[in-house]
Amino acid sequence: MAEISEAPDSDSSKLLGSDSKAPQRPDSEPEFDPKLMRKTKPGLKRLFLTFSVLFSFLLGFPFLWKSVEIYRSPLPFREIDSLSTQLRSDTLLFPLHFHALFVGFDSDPDRLRWSILSEITKLTSQNPKCSDNYTLSVTVDLGSRCLRGPTSSPHSSSYQCGSVTGDDFVQNDDVVVDERLASVFGGKNNEYSMAVVKGVSERAVVGKYRHAWIVVGDGSDVEMAVVKVAEVLIKVFINGGREEGLIRNEFMPVGADGKIVLSFNLLNADPHDWVYDWDFEKIDDTLLTPMIEALGTVANISVESQVLYHTPKASFSYWNQKLESYVFSTKDLPFFVNSNEWHLDTSIAAGGRSKILQFAVYVPSAKECPLLLQLPNGEISKTNGFISPMWGGVIVWNPQGCLKDSEFKPSAKNIIPIQDLENMFEVFIGQFRQLFGFKSLNVYTGASGDWNLLPSERGFTEWELDVLSRQHTCFNLHSCATTLGSLSRLVQSLPRMIIKDEIGKQVKLSLEAAKLALSNASSGVYEFSAASSSQARSLAEDAFFHPSIMSVSYYSFEHCFAVYSPFFLPVSMHVVLAALRELRRYKQEKAKYLAWKAKANTAT
């Protein structure tokens, strides 16, 4: 430092050619004081030199700043917020249309319509998340002509007058009547139809498609029919036969990537007694495949099966002499699944975010055979099975005649008889429906009477699939919105976190799918809206759970500072100090020169 400060003086004296420091020179001007004055103008070169170095540093600074910038893919925060507010404020509305047909009644359609609507409003519960926007049209078929109300409704005008008569309902076969009505009504996606006829025997049936019918006796009035119509429309077609409208989260076992894996396990508790096998492929083709196809829009389902040996259960049973069998009660159910011995989760088809549902058939050992489930009211269970929400279901199957051990060869492999297997799979389908929140009884007991529910070969009727589509769309969209909201909050709270392009792309695609789902839902196309909503949810989950969002790899400010300061701090300090010092020196020399000039001017 000392050298540098000395050098300029000698330099300047060399460059400028004036030895302002020479005291031996005879004073031509006696007032010339070399410390306060100088005779020549100070040069600018040194100043320029130091300032050019400083300037080049300043010029390079933006390059440095850019090079340490964190790469953050721009996320559409405003759109995410708008999606959340849109879902929260205007509740998701599904448009539905109801059509009620009265055959053989002589009533005014508008009055009927008004009374049905008033009954409906009594039954509709407030559902904050997703609700339904319904319209109602009523047709009174008098045989020769039809009265419609409202007269201008496009939906009811598609019904041909006179297509449905009382004779259609004479026979007792519900399935035939169902098919007949299906050909009449058509059953488009968001239209539900009701037929009320006068007939001999009273009957109330909900079909497999999207219609239901009531046969009322001659003496009953139309008001009671109106109450029943309203009840089936709201409680069955909209709520799916449940009391509360909304499915709880534990009855939506769809994985975050929209997939479910059904894992069927045949558990032989003690292979020393007997070993059972099953013909799974055949039963899969006939029973499971239609159901899986039907649920294609709600979830992408795949099926696997395995047979396990040496799988005892963890709870105990006791011998009941009256029933001549071993009995376990519902209190033992939580301890039934012996997780130490039942190695069920060995799926290779399931990805990290799929949901696996385990369905286990338990074949008890000879020491505990037959094994029956006793309900709290003392009855024996008809299905011998139970479910655990979000996990799966278990059925206990007792081999034929297990008390008579003369018929069995313990070492040979036995196949479960096909009839038993079909019964078992019917219970499985019932359990699968239960996992989705649907009951499997064929009768719906409502406030105004019983309804027969026709079952479908596909495991779910069309109106049940509609309920599932609507509920899952609602759930998926809300889940997508909350996930994206959490992601945006997370990203904004950590300004130094790297956000890769992939995340930005997934967020954009998720928002597009959510918009598509919303538009499809509002126009009533449930399958597409369910599919897009599950895609939106899975993309949002992919974005949130992207493996690059890890807190330990955040490029913190302390890190940046610690890396760059050992070089830049000393160097910049030197450069800035040098520039400042040069400036100060220039100012001093300039002042000296000006003083000399002033003195010279006053002298002359």
Partner 1 sequence: METFINPKSLFHLLLLPCLLLYSSIAYNSSPVEAAMHTNNWAVLVCTSRFWFNYRHMANTLSLYRTVKRLGIPDERIILMLADDMACNTRNKYPAQVFNNENHRLNLYGDNVEVDYRGYEVTVENFLRVLTGRHETAVPRSKRLLSDEGSHILLYMTGHGGDEFLKFQDSEELQSHDLADAVKQMKEKHRFKELLIMVDTCQAATLFNQLQSPGVLAIGSSMKGENSYSHHLDSDVGVSVVDRFTYYTLAFFERLNIYDNASLSSLFSSYNPSLLMSTTYYRKDLYKRRLEEVPVTNFFGSVMETIHTDAAYKALSRRNSGRFEDEMSLDQSVHHIKRRMLIKVNDGDEIHDINPEGEEGASKCPWSTFRNKFQKAENVDSLLNYGLVAMIPLLVISTWLVQ
The nearer residue to partner 1, 5 or 486, going by C-beta atoms, is 486
Smallest gap from Cβ 297 to partner 1, in A, equals 14
The contact mask relative to partner 1 for 294-323 (x = CB under 8 A, - = no) is ------xxxx----------x---------
Question: From CA 71, how far away is CA 27, in angstroms rounded?
Answer: 69
Binding mask 115-154 for partner 1 (x = CB under 8 A): -------------xx-------------------------
CB of 397 closer than 8 Å to CB of 359: no
Q: Is 599 in the site for partner 1 (CB under 8 A)?
A: no
Report the nearest approach of partner 1 to the CB of residue 473 (Å): 17
Cβ at position 277, least distance to partner 1 in Å: 18
Q: Does 512 sit near partner 1 (CB under 8 A)?
A: no
Among 9, 10, 18, 55, binds partner 1 (CB under 8 A): 55
DSSP secondary structure, 152-221, as one string: T-TTGGGSPTTS--GGGGSSS-HHHHHHHHHHHH---TTEEEEEEEE-SS-EEEE-SSSEEEEEE-TT--
Residue from 26, 28, 63, 321 touching partner 1 (CB under 8 A): that is 63
Q: Which H or E run includes 18?
A: none
CA pair distance 366, 370, nearest whole angstrom: 8
Q: Interaction with partner 1 in 279-298: which residues (CB under 8 A)?
A: 281-282, 284-287, 289-290, 292-293
**Residue 260: strand, helix, or coil:** strand
Q: Strands 318-320 and 325-329: what pairing?
A: antiparallel
- The rounded distance, in Å, linking the Cα atoms of 272 and 322 is 28
Position 60 contacts partner 1 (CB under 8 A): yes
456 makes contact with partner 1 (CB under 8 A): yes
In whole angstroms, the minimum distance from the beta carbon of 200 to partner 1 comes to 25
Strand partners, 453: 206
Tokens of 391: 């996990």
Question: 93, exposed or middle or buried, with CB in 10 Å at 0-12, 13-18, 19+?
Answer: middle
Q: Which of 552, 602, 603, 604 binds partner 1 (CB under 8 A)?
A: 552
> Does 490 engage in binding with partner 1 (CB under 8 A)?
yes
Under the binding rule (CB under 8 A), the answer on residue 505 touching partner 1 is: yes
d(CA 424, CA 214): 33
Let me know if 33 is exposed, middle or buried by CB neighbors in 10 A (0-12, 13-18, 19+): middle
The only residue of 185, 209, 544, 596 in contact with partner 1, by rule CB under 8 A: 544
**Using CA of residue 404, residue 407, residue 410, residue 414, what is the dihedral sign?**
negative
Among 295, 350, 361, 514, interactor with partner 1 by CB under 8 A: 350
Contacts with partner 1, 238-257, as mask; x by CB under 8 A: ----------xxx-------
Q: Which two tokens stand for residue 16?
A: 């400028």
CB of 391 to partner 1, least distance (A): 7
Question: Which residue of 26, 219, 352, 378 would you call a contact of partner 1, by CB under 8 A?
Answer: 352
373 binds partner 1 (CB under 8 A): yes
At its nearest, how many Å lie between partner 1 and the CB of residue 151? 39
Kindly determine how many residues on this chain lie close enough to bind partner 1 according to the rule CB under 8 A: 105
CB atoms within 10 A of CB 433: 18
The residue from 116, 181, 266, 337 that contacts partner 1 (CB under 8 A) is: 337
Q: Do residues 260 and 353 touch, judged by C-beta distance below 8 A? A: no
From 103-111, 403-411, 456-464, 592-600, give the range in contact with partner 1 by CB under 8 A: 456-464
434 binds partner 1 (CB under 8 A): yes
Among candidates 305, 267, 263, 264, which has minimal Cα distance to 396?
A: 267
